[in-house]
Amino acid sequence: MSKGKQSDLPTSLKQLAQTLQSCRRCPLYRNATQAVPGEGPRGAVLVLVGEQPGNDEDLAGKPFVGPAGMVLNKALEAAGIERQKAFVTNAVKHFKFEPRGKRRLHKRPNAYEIERCCWWLENELRFVKPKLVVALGATAALSVFGKPMPVGKSRGKILELADGLHGLVTVHPSALLRIPDKASKEAEMKRFKRDLLLAKRFISQPDA
């Protein structure tokens, strides 16, 4: 992850979110409505990192308020995790899309865009100092771990990160929305909930 000069570093989450609106670190700002900062309390023990804002998030300026957010909320509730006590954010802060008539269709960020946006996530983690960072999907995992982390091979275990943090890889909730078969969707939702239950058990453990 790239570092800014110490004198350039924001001094609070609020200032970080304000500064984010003038970000020009990659070209994605040109077409997005706005940058979408993370949301949640400083000092949250759990950080949830998605890929990027979608259409709903781009318009609202808040993370995970669209259909994928509804799936996430349902799974968090099932796992006994209060979303308002977690810090929810994305690896990439601007919505990347391609126009299709009046619609704006999600387009996956590339490696350059992910790398350029790491600075913002790095500073969110610097302020929040969570016990666990949950990477929702491969893009988030690449940003959090700094290397490719295939979800199928990486999920289901607590992994060490730098600076004393720990990480957990699982699917992005939008992937569940794309499963057409009802039985397969229910099975994958159960796996997603199991991953979040593992996160719940880890953050509930007393600190050593």
Report the pLDDT averaged over residues 121-150: 97
State which amino acid sits at residue 173.
P
**Residue 77: CB partners within 8 Å, gap ≥ 6?**
none
38-95: pLDDT as tens digits: 999 999 999 999 999 999 999 999 999 999 999 999 999 999 999 999 999 999 999 9
160-180: pLDDT as tens digits: 998 889 999 999 999 999 999
pLDDT at 27 over 60: yes
Percentages helix, strand, coil for the chain, rounded to the nearest 5? 45, 15, 40
CB of 185 within 8 A of CB of 179?
A: yes
Domains of the chain, earliest start first = 12-204 (3.40.470.10)
Angle between helices 111-128 and 13-20 (to 10 degrees): 160
Q: How many angstroms separate the CA atoms of 60 and 74, rounded? A: 20
pTM: 0.94
Residue 207: exposed, middle, or buried by beta-carbon count in 10 A (0-12, 13-18, 19+)? exposed
Give residue 207's pLDDT: 77
Q: Is 137 left (phi over 0), alpha (psi -120 to 50) or beta?
A: left
Give residue 1's pLDDT: 39
Q: How far is CA 171 from CA 73, 150, 194, in A?
A: 14, 10, 11
Percent of the chain at pLDDT above 90?
92
